[in-house]
Structure 1
Amino acid sequence: MSLNSQNLPYPDLIHPIIVHFVIAMVLFAFVCDIIGYFSRRYHLFEVSFWNLFVAAIAIFFAVFFGQLEASLAKPYPAAQSTLNWHSVTGWSLSAIVVAITAWRFAIRSRDPLKIPPAYLGVATFLVSLVLFQMYLGSQLMWVYGLHLEPIVEATKQGLL
């Protein structure tokens, strides 16, 4: 397999594109639920559900490309711990997003005009995990420079 200067078999990273889509959908779903809950704008619950539903599907593509791109990055020892945490959190988030979406579907099926406060608590936990995952991903890119050309070259030359 031929790899480019970023150590990828395709022109640019795909994981960040998909993962930012998932992040936006999860955060927007949460905002819609909060606004809908406190303002009694129940149509926002439907917006929230569909955002979560699509995020629950898209997160598996984000994890797939994240794992693929992580394996191609050939991370150096300083980045390995952060990459491991990012991978574990990503797999965990995929399961949690699907579970919360299933719960949201059950809530929607029972009464589309109500969501329980317990759900909002769990959704707050989900948002916290997403923010933690964003922190880890930012470190991998901006601190450790995975897939950036100078870092790829330094790794190939054994400098890192």
Structure 2
Amino acid sequence: MLELLPPLNDHNLPWMDTIHPIVVHFVIAMGLITFVFDLIGVVTRRPALFEVSFWNLLFATAAIFVAIMFGQIEAGLANPYGASRDILNLHSTIGWSLAGVLSLMSGWRYVIRSKDPHQLPLAFLGAGGLLSALIVLQVTLGNQLIWVYGLHTVPVVQAMRSGLV
């Protein structure tokens, strides 16, 4: 059965390069811009921005599940070492938590929008602020995995294959 799988490349992946960071950047951008548009919409009393925010939230919610799928596959092929194991586990846990938070917020936002699309409760704005903080934490952990520990980078993969790490 394993012979049916494509061989792993220099990044220890069956495809050209990591896909998770590509997809997750959509989640990061849309998740953060959701909060920014909500905040600007409340401050300037421009409810048209709530519509933009709503659609960004929905697409971020859909995209996070694609990001998690590729993230789980790529994490399984990463061969984390030392402290990177703990960071990768925390990154995975927060990723799944973010999927839940985004899903709950999308449902909450749909109910708010159905009742009155021109108003946004301050509690939702507060939740958006907490969502943004969680996204920033997740980005920090992901950056550590790449820029500090070099998971899926050619030199680290070569060192692992040589038994140096």
Whether TM exceeds 0.5 here: the answer is yes
Q: Residue by residue, what CA displacement relative to the aligned partner does 1:59-108 show, whole Å, maximum 9, x if unpaired? A: 00000100100101111123101101100000000011010111011100
Q: Residue by residue, what CA displacement relative to the aligned partner does 1:22-65 show, whole Å, maximum 9, x if unpaired? A: 10001111110000001011100000000000111110000010
Kindly provide the amino acid, as one letter, of the partner of residue 27 in structure 2.
V
Deviation at 1:157, TM superposition (A): 1.7
Equivalence for 1:159:
164
Give distance in 1, aligned partners of 2:61 and 2:92: 17
Deviation at 1:159, TM superposition (A): 1.2
Kindly provide the amino acid, as one letter, of the partner of residue 112 in structure 1.
P
> Do the aligned partners of 1:146 and 1:152 also contact (CA within 8 Å) in 2?
yes
Is structure 2 residue 92 aligned with structure 1 residue 84?
A: no
Moved over 2 A (4+): none
- Given candidates 127, 138, 157, the residue that maps to 2:143 is 138
Secondary structure of 1:8's counterpart equals coil
Q: Provide TM-score, normalisation by structure 2.
A: 0.95
**What 5-or-longer segments of structure 2 have no aligned partner?**
none
Deviation at 1:156, TM superposition (A): 1.4
Percent of paired sites with the same residue: 54
- Aligned CA RMSD, in angstroms, stands at 0.7
Q: Provide TM-score, normalisation by structure 1.
A: 0.98
Give distance in 2, aligned partners of 1:9 and 1:60: 20
Aligned residues: 160
